[in-house]
Homo-oligomer: A and B are copies of this chain.
């Protein structure tokens, strides 16, 4: 028997500030970047890319942190665990997440490396090409986890990106155990095909062992994880072991299979795609908000689609408009 959850969602993720600038596709090719991808970069490459970047703006990001920003804006009670350095970008990240109403207590890390940043080149069609300097973020120690906080949240939300560095991976394994011991649900977003190429066996083991209650993937990640190019075949492979599976399909909308029942939504129409950064993160926010409120899968998907549409209509991966109002209008 479990005690009632006092938090809706606790998330563990990279604590990143996004540095974003518009960029012509020709320049993205010239810089040797893979349009639409996410690449990890070291200090030297980060400096080289920053020097090549146009005038930019800084907006807090990080995949799971973006999802929490959406959840909190919708009215969920949330907490974030992630590692910033004791520097100005760390202050920016901490301010922005707390100002969104999210509890954030992980102490800043002294000394080098600095706070993580993601250099994002935004193409004229809104596609984003990300270059992540992980900095302090990859040094999240397992003892930064507050087990009481994790046990008090209905859902533990984990981002695949953070599975790559060693210390946070160990922390996340501990967090999964703490959440399950407390009778809570574990949600996981696969984040990127490169993460699956490196750690796919870990993820397949977690899934086979019933450790993942809610799984978010896009089509590419689903294919990488299951080895099935066909979306439906990939879904069929996972659903026996994943109670809630959500697959986003870009402009084609999204599919969810919840306890064996399938639902789908088209993408929300939007006037102009400005910047797709955070689309998946905000889709997860909308879906998860509906899910923790016990709403029907169709409604959860619709909420995800609305939040994703909001975030791609402007620069930055955190919501700007009143998404709670948008969602409640559309689902009334």
A103 to chain B, nearest CB (A): 15
Bitwise interface map of A from 25 to 46 toward B, beta carbon under 8 Å scored 1, else 0: 0000000000000000000000
Chain B min CB distance to A185 (Å): 27
Is chain A's binding surface mostly helix, strand, loop or mixed?
mixed
Contacts of A55 in B (CB 8 A): 60, 69, 95-97, 99-100, 318
Q: Are A99 and B69 in contact (CB under 8 A)?
A: no
Question: In the complex, how many angstroms separate the beta carbon of A33 from the nearest chain B beta carbon?
Answer: 17
Whether B96 contacts A56 by the Cβ 8 Å rule is yes
A87 part of interface (Cβ distance < 8 Å):
yes
A200 to chain B, nearest CB (A): 34
* Chain B residues within an 8 Å CB radius of A59: 57-58
- Copies held by the complex: 2
Nearest CB in chain B: distance from A69 CB, A? 7
Query: When chains A and B are docked, how far (Å) is the Cα of A88 from the Cα of B88?
Result: 6
* A68-94 interface code vs B (CB 8 A; 1 in, 0 out): 010000000000000000011100100
Rounded to whole angstroms, the CA-CA distance of A58 and B88 in the bound complex is 11
A54 touches B99 (CB 8 A): yes
Report chain B residues within 8 Å CB of A22.
Answer: 320
Would you give the shortest CB distance from A46 to chain B, in whole angstroms? Answer: 12
Asked whether, in the complex, the Cβ of B99 is within 8 Å of the Cβ of A58, the reply is no
| Cα of A59 to Cα of B315 in the assembled complex, Å | 12
- Chain B residue numbers with a CB within 8 Å of A114 are 88
* Interface check A139, CB cutoff 8 A: no
User: Closest 9 CB pairs between A and B?
Assistant: A58-B58, A88-B88, A55-B96, A57-B59, A55-B99, A54-B99, A55-B100, A88-B89, A57-B57
